Structure 1
Amino acid sequence: MRTAAYIHIPFCEHICHYCDFNKVFLKNQPVDQYIDSLLIEMKRTIERASIDTLKTIYIGGGTPTALSAEQLKHLFDGMHRILPMQDLVEFTVEVNPDSGEEDKLQVMKEAGVNRLSIGVQSFDTSLLQGIGRTHTSHSVYDAVQRSRQAGFDNISLDLMFGLPNQSVEQFIDTIEKASVLGVEHVSAYSLKIEEKTVFFNRQRKGKLSLPPEDDEVTMYQELQARTKQNGFDQYEISNFAKPGYESQHNLVYWNNDEYYGFGAGAHGYVNGVRNHNIGPISKYIQAIESGDLPYLQEHRVTKVEQIEEAMFMGLRKLAGVNLSTLSTRYNVDLKEVYRDQITNLTKRGLLEQDGDVLRLTDDGLLLANEVFEQFLAVLNEDMEKNES
């Protein structure tokens, strides 16, 4: 049952050096026309897929708060007319510290938004400038204060580590300052150099100074230790929450459940098919105007792919995966199928097994991608015919 929806707002007031998400500069863009097209896509999807209820909605980007208060209200009013939002338990919007003004926060609150994800990345001004961010640490404090005053009691901060020229001490300072703010959730991701980014071009030219791998490992270990000291529970490789404030929307992804994706460049997973929307704004709008859904690609996920995704996405959670539950879900004995992989990874101290539950160890968290790779290309595609 699909009870989650992701909505993409591709507009930004500036482009960060590390970002490879689908985004464009806000200036001179057909924002109002895009919102109208977005709402039409939702309506057509409802007509085709018959959405009964939504439990979580996540609006990301880009920068959703690059929209004006009036544009946000137009979007939210349309969503309430079209989508079944009466049973929502979590409604998240990403907020840039520089653009989370009081009028926008009020519009969000009135629309039923109950969770904010604020893009902080670092509290060090020099590092922020170095990654192309325009806000300061003071902007973050102000954004959190305004959010509290507007009535939001579920706030997440996004942090990054392994940034160019970042020291372990600088990252520790960021963790501590994030904790002092009293937020309910922290996400912290190591920098990945993606193609078509400023950092990718700099790295090719030998002009990007990244921290040593040992320092990045230390940063992650400090993140784990200090969030724990400050009352956060780690529930996923990169996510830490006060008790009861785990991201319900992101758990949909990690549980390999289906979800709707709306907007230019958005991804969805509906009825066993993963779809990828057209990315360029003008072409997305044209596709909507033509009377169709704006799909660029559609891929029916095979049973083998479903199992592989369930394993490596589920193992991202600290709770791990229940092999019996997944075996029943996919009608395959996964304990037998992955016996060698589980045995070898357990001997290496990267996995631990407690009855039917398989989870990463502390060392496994540091080498998670290496663990995940062991569960790929093991199953035979022929099992599609034999087991279904």
Structure 2
Amino acid sequence: MPLGLYLHYPFCRNRCSYCDFYKELHDTKLQKQFFDALRTETDLIAGQCGKRRVRSIFIGGGTPSLMPVELLEDWLAQVRDLFIVEDDFEFSVESNPESVSLELLQSWQSLGVNRPLFGVQSFDPQLLKLLDRRHSPKDSHRAVYHANALGFASFGLDLIFGLPGQNSDKLSADLEQFVDLAPPHISFYQLTIEDGTVLADRVADGSIKLPDEELNLAMYRAGVQKMEEAGYRRYEVSSFAKPGFECRHNLGYWEGDEYLGLGPSAHSFIDGQRLFNYDNLHRYIETLDKGHLPQVVDESGLDERMTEAIMLGLRTTQGISRKRFVKRFGVSLRDRLDQSHYRRLVESGHLLPDRGKLRLSDEGFYLVDEITRCLIK
């Protein structure tokens, strides 16, 4: 089976107030050491798993739009030498709008990137400042203009809701601009307050206040309605695409397909085993300098992995294949569900047990977290 290949590029210009992904402040010398280590990791991982077929590449971060093109080009040449990259592969790269230029997108395009992603988050300058984002609304519009000018058939924008100070009117203004720009893909996700972030400290000390659950639900409903009216199809709770422009890489995650993760903090699922890379760049580099892979085996048990599969599957409109669940875990999906809650959710219309699958109804998607918590044994 072809697999997905993920690279975590760990450098940023600054630390956004809400982000808890592993990152280091950009440093040219350390970046060179990272790419040297990455090439070693790529060699070692290919030697371990063989010359596998790759159906998608996804570079996240961090801020991948800070990557020197020549270092990216060298790594991609190595990937193409060690793996079989399929002709119709999907190649996504995340970016921050302020670091996107026409020249950068042209370079990416020449290297095979066919799905640039722009972390717009909002067009409201006050909300961008709250998030410690460096870009302006003009930067976001310019990035989309460049993508269209270069003929990218597929690209995506991120939109966030549930921000302090955000209300339905502010979100509506953002939605209007997103829909007007007509990206093939929109990620529309609710702010999550992560421990250890600046935003978490501000919430804890009361200096900022989050929208309540009722307002968040109203904003999510408004977003879904607006995007569906504009021709987008929700295929996962936070993911909306024009038909045919769903993210194939992420679908692989949600459906339990194999993937390789490279770079600090990246995860892999290969040959039935889950692996985590060290979430420390210096330890990552030092380990690879010694010729060892910087990873540990995930020791979570079968119950935890089945729970995760149910949680991820219910977030997609395709739902969970009962047959595939049994094949993957050797246990029926029914045996993992609380039957009293299951019957009640089916009767209420929130769960749709049809065609060999278990999936949520449209109304069920608005309560996905609550449903998942009560449904799993």
Q: Which moved more, 1:310-319 or 1:341-350?
A: 341-350
**Which residue does the alignment assign to 1:327?**
326
Quote the residue 1:345 is aligned against: 345
Q: Which residue of 2 aligns with 1:269?
A: 269
Alignment map for 1:96-245 (pairs within 5 Å): 96-245=96-245
Q: Counterpart in 2 of 1:70?
A: 70
Where does residue 25 of structure 1 map in the other structure?
Answer: 25
Deviation track 1:237-268 (CA, whole Å, cap 9, x = no partner) reads 00000000010000011112221000011111
Query: Could you tell me how far apart the structure 2 residues matched to 1:105 and 1:57 are?
Result: 16
Question: In the alignment, what sits opposite 1:384?
Answer: none
The amino acid of 1:54's aligned partner reads V
Conserved 8 A contact 1:68-1:104: no
- Structure 1 residues 344 and 66: CA distance shift in structure 2, 3 A: same
Q: Offset at 1:200?
A: 1.0
SS at 2:53 equivalent: coil
Does structure 2 conserve the Cα–Cα contact (< 8 Å) formed by 1:2 and 1:270? Answer: no
2:312 aligned with 1:313: yes
Partner of 1:260: 260
Cα separation, 2, equivalents of 1:283 and 1:151 = 41
Contact 1:352 1:359 in 2 (8 A): yes
- In structure 2, what is the equivalent of residue 290 of structure 1? 290
Retained in 2: the 8 A contact 1:341–1:374? yes
Q: TM-score, normalised by structure 1?
A: 0.92
Deviates more, 1:51-60 or 1:241-250: 51-60
CA distance in 2, matches of 1:76, 1:156: 22
How far 1:286 moved relative to its partner? 0.4
Q: Distance in 2 between matches of 1:197 and 1:54?
A: 35
Structure 1 residues 353 and 272 mapped into 2: Cα distance closer, same or farther (>3 Å)? same
RMSD: 1.8
Matched residues, number: 376
Task: Report the more deviating stretch, 121-130 or 64-73.
Answer: 64-73
1:187 positional shift: 0.4
Please state how far the C-alpha of 1:337 moved relative to its aligned partner.
5.0
Letter in 2 for 1:268: S
Whole-angstrom distance in 2 between the partners of 1:306 and 1:260: 17
Q: Secondary structure at the match of 1:98?
A: helix
Identity in percent: 34
The one-letter code matched in structure 2 to 1:66 is L
Q: Which moved more, 1:80-89 or 1:225-234?
A: 80-89
Inter-partner Cα distance in structure 2 for 1:35 and 1:371: 43
Q: 1:46 to 1:136 in 2, by over 3 A?
A: same
Instruction: Tell me which residue corresponds to 1:278.
Output: 278
Distance change >3 Å, CA 111–CA 38, structure 1 → 2: same
Distance 1:364 1:106, change over 3 A: same
Aligned to 1:49: 49
Secondary structure of 1:89's counterpart equals strand
Q: Distance in 1 between matches of 2:182 and 2:286?
A: 45
Contact 2:342-2:375 within 8 A present in 1 as well: no
Write the distance in 2 (CA, Å) between the matches of 1:100 and 1:32: 21
SS in 2 for 1:160: strand
Cα drift, residue 355 of structure 1: 4.0
CA contact (8 A) 2:203 2:210 kept: no
TM-score, L = length of structure 2: 0.94
CA distance in structure 1 between the partners assigned to 2:84 and 2:22 by the alignment: 27
- Contact in 2 for aligned 1:323/1:356 (Cα 8 Å): yes
Uncovered stretches (5+) of structure 2, i.e. residues with no partner: none
**SS where residue 354 of structure 1 aligns?**
coil
Any idea what SS the aligned residue of 1:374 has?
A: helix
For the residues of structure 1 that align with 2:281 and 2:332, how far apart are their CA atoms? 45
8 Å contact kept, 1:318–1:360: yes
SS in 2 for 1:224: helix
Give the corresponding residue for 1:372.
372
Distance in 2 of aligned mates of 1:214 and 1:29: 48
- Judge conservation of contact 1:54–1:87 (CA < 8 Å) in 2: no
- Please give the alpha-carbon distance, in whole angstroms, between the structure 2 residues aligned to 1:222 and 1:178: 13
Distance 1:369 1:51 in 2: 39
Q: Secondary structure at the match of 2:128?
A: helix
How far the C-alpha of 1:173 sits from its partner, in A, is 1.3
- State the AA in 2 paired with 1:222: A
Q: Distance in 2 between matches of 1:348 and 1:36?
A: 56
Question: CA distance change for structure 1 residues 331 and 237 in 2, over 3 Å: closer, same or farther?
Answer: same
